Each structure stands twice: as structure tokens, then as C-alpha cells.
Amino acid sequence: MKTILITQIKSQIGRLPKHKATMKGLGLRNIGDTVERKDTAAIRGMIKKVYYMISIK
């Protein structure tokens, strides 16, 4: 299965609680954190929710 590299590029301070929870679910805590996740529909949905705080490769 393909994988996606997700990097946090913006702070979570002042964001909606649901968006903070989504970032936690993705495994991102600090600016500059990078995680590798499987390319699934669930992960794609999470990415769409917080697209403005992350970078995808």
C-alpha cells in the first residue's frame, strides 16, 4: 500500500478542538514533526480536515 508523508507546518494554538484531536490522531504534536501514514480513505479525510496546518508529500 502507498504511504503519505505528512509534516506539520503551522501551530495548533487557537485551533478548533476537533482539529487538534485530528492532529493528535495523525501523530503530529509540534511544528516540523513528520509522520508516514498509509494512504487510506480515513487518513485522507483527516488530511482534508486540517489541510491548512500540514504539508503533504
Q: What pTM was computed for the model? A: 0.91
How does the average pLDDT of the chain come out, rounded?
97
Give the confidence band of 1 by pLDDT, cuts at 50, 70, 90: confident
Q: Domains of the chain (ranges plus CATH)?
A: 1-54 (3.30.1390.20)
In percent, the amount of the chain with pLDDT more than 90 equals 98
CA dist., res. 14 & res. 56, Å (int): 22
pLDDT confidence of residue 45: 98
C-beta of residue 35 within 8 angstroms of C-beta of residue 28: yes
Q: Give 30-52 pLDDT, tens digit per residue.
A: 999 999 999 999 999 999 999 99
The DSSP string of 1-57 is --EEEEEE-S--TT--HHHHHHHHHHT--STT-EEEEE--HHHHHHHHHTGGGEEE-
